[in-house]
Amino acid sequence: MGWTEKQLRRIHAQGLFRSLKTIEQKSGTRIVIFGKRLVNFCSNDYLGLANDPRVKKAGADAIQKWGAGAAASRLVSGNFSLHLELEQGLAGFKGAQAGLLFSSGYLANIGAIPALVDQDDQIFSDQMNHASLIDACRLSKAKIKIFPHSDLSALNKMLSGANRRARKLIVAEGIYSMDGDLAPLPEILELAEKFGAMVYLDEAHSTGVIGKKGKGALEYFGIKGFPQNLVLMGTLSKALAGQGGFICGPKSLRELLINRSRAFIFSTGLNPAAAASALKSLEIIEQEPELVARLQDHIAFARKCLKGIGLKIGSGPSPILPIVLRDPARTLKASQNLFRKGFFVQPIRPPSVPSGTSRLRITVCAAHSRKEIERLAETLSEVL
Ligand SMILES: *Cc1c(COP(=O)(O)O)cnc(C)c1O
């Protein structure tokens, strides 16, 4: 086992060692770790639905009705009407023709992209894309070009230099998971149209979060109708408070993935509890857009509080607020000090972010109180 220890020593020496923090108790935004009560400011349960009694009951009822697991892949005997109901619900929510579920957002990405493009094709991937997108692109064997983050003129140049006959897939995120900024979707779609490319947009953090009704990037940018050259991906595990991933687009896309996506074909159908919880969350979001409004109020308030203590924080609808401290050791220390004072904010260090950009990454949720947000800002001003 010498080789594992050697690698670990290197990780330690770089100040990049990670270990799991165990949550011993949990109730909404309040958690207990090492017996210490904390307010959680690094959850992706943006709308607080993971703790909603209606959502929890829907999950529990689904286990009673369908069993604890799907017990087979969808193409064998694990395809339940519950799955179809959720797929149709998600497609309707996103304004697409069809949807397809995967067992996680990670699997949706590594399942969909290699089913769409292969070694004869070209991928144009934003520099800040999530690890699951990077892995998906690699797995596809397509030629990968990485464009500087949201740099449209660089993307334009790459596309115009690309092989005309190759299929081209542009890969971006609705809200970038580490910087919390939005992809310029209308302009990306325009470029794609100009060069006959497809756009693959990961909406893990924008679903349930942006747009008046929480529908995501298309609603936020006021894009009418579902663009023909768009594939949308999302996860059930963030604002939708379940677990799993999904793809939305034309019917033919769904059929293609059912036939070609290895992560779909060779993995058990989504767990009934996860599917039913997400379906209930979706229903709640559609009936109670005020939940999205509350989240957006909190985001604006948090930005104001953090600016108030002199931090450089922009405006915008994203719940992800990075405080870049650059040095990994300093970031770790700040996180530990926050912990001591009752706030759980994880330090994000390489390889999750580029070296020299270590940060505290705060996520704001609808279930936080204004008081909690205010106190976080006060405490930050003491520990930074
Ligand atoms: C969280 C996340 C995923 C993965 O989703 P899971 O359902 O957690 O597997 C994919 N893409 C992005 C951008 C994410 O932030």
Given the residues 104, 132, 140, 177, select the one marked as catalytic: 177
Given the residues 94, 215, 238, 280, select the one marked as catalytic: 238
pLDDT score recorded for residue 177: 94
DSSP of 89-103, one letter per residue?
A: HHHHHHT-SEEEEES
Question: CATH 3.40.640.10 residue ranges in the chain?
Answer: 53-287
Long-range contacts at 130-139 (CB < 8 A, ≥ 24 apart): 130/173, 130/177, 130/202, 130/204, 131/352, 132/105, 132/106, 132/202, 133/109, 133/171, 133/173, 133/202, 135/109, 135/110, 136/109, 136/110, 136/111, 136/112, 136/171, 137/113, 137/171, 139/110, 139/113, 139/114
Given the residues 205, 280, 298, 368, select the one marked as catalytic: 205
pLDDT score recorded for residue 1: 65
The 10 Å Cβ neighbour count of residue 212 is 11
Rounded Cα–Cα distance for residues 28 and 346 (Å): 17
pLDDT score recorded for residue 18: 87
Residue 205, ligand 1, Cβ within 6 A: yes
CA of 106 to the centre of ligand 1 (A): 6
Q: Helices marked H in the chain — which ranges?
A: 2-13, 53-66, 81-94, 105-116, 131-140, 152-160, 185-195, 217-220, 251-260, 262-265, 272-287, 290-308, 328-340, 370-383
Integer angstrom CA distances of residue 172 from 40, 73, 120, 201:
28, 29, 21, 5
pTM score, whole prediction: 0.97
- Best residue among 109, 132, 237, 361 to mutate for probing ligand 1's pocket (most ligand atoms within 8 Å of CB) is 132
Any catalytic annotation for residue 65?
A: no
CA of 177 to the centre of ligand 1 (A): 8
CATH 3.40.47.10 is the classification of domain 17-46+289-383: no
CB neighbour list of residue 104: distance below 8 Å, 6 or more residues apart: 235, 237, 243, 244, 245
Any catalytic annotation for residue 6?
A: no
Residue 349, ligand 1, Cβ within 6 A: no
pLDDT score recorded for residue 351: 84
Kindly list the strands in the beta sheet with 358-363, ordered across the sheet, starting from the edge strand earlier in the chain.
320-326, 358-363, 347-348
CA of 235 to the centre of ligand 1 (A): 6
Long-range contacts at 70-76 (CB < 8 A, ≥ 24 apart): 70/268, 70/269, 70/270, 70/271, 70/272, 71/268, 71/269, 72/268, 72/269, 73/265, 73/266, 73/267, 73/268, 73/269, 74/258, 74/264, 74/269, 75/258, 75/265
Q: Map tokens 């290699």 to a residue.
A: 114
CA of 193 to the centre of ligand 1 (A): 27
Any catalytic annotation for residue 298?
A: no
Residue 215, ligand 1, Cβ within 6 A: no
Residue 204, ligand 1, Cβ within 6 A: yes
pLDDT score recorded for residue 15: 75
Quick one: which atom of ligand 1 is closest to the CA of 130? Answer: 13
Tens of each residue's pLDDT in the chain, 384 residues:
689 999 999 989 887 788 899 999 999 999 999 999 999 999 999 999 999 999 999 999 999 999 999 999 999 999 999 999 999 999 999 999 999 999 999 999 999 999 999 999 999 999 999 999 999 999 999 999 999 999 999 999 999 999 888 999 999 999 999 999 999 999 999 999 999 999 999 999 999 999 999 999 999 999 999 999 999 999 999 999 999 999 999 999 999 999 999 999 999 999 999 999 999 999 999 999 999 999 999 999 999 999 999 999 989 999 999 999 999 999 999 999 999 999 999 999 988 899 999 999 999 999 999 999 999 999 999 999
Question: CATH 3.90.1150.10 residue ranges in the chain?
Answer: 17-46+289-383
CB neighbour list of residue 215: distance below 8 Å, 6 or more residues apart: 93, 94, 95, 207
Residue 240, ligand 1, Cβ within 6 A: no
Q: Whose CA is nearest to atom 7 of ligand 1?
A: 105
Residue 241, ligand 1, Cβ within 6 A: no
Topology of the domain comprising 53-287: Aspartate Aminotransferase; domain 2 (3.40.640)
Q: Map tokens 């009560």 to a residue.
A: 37
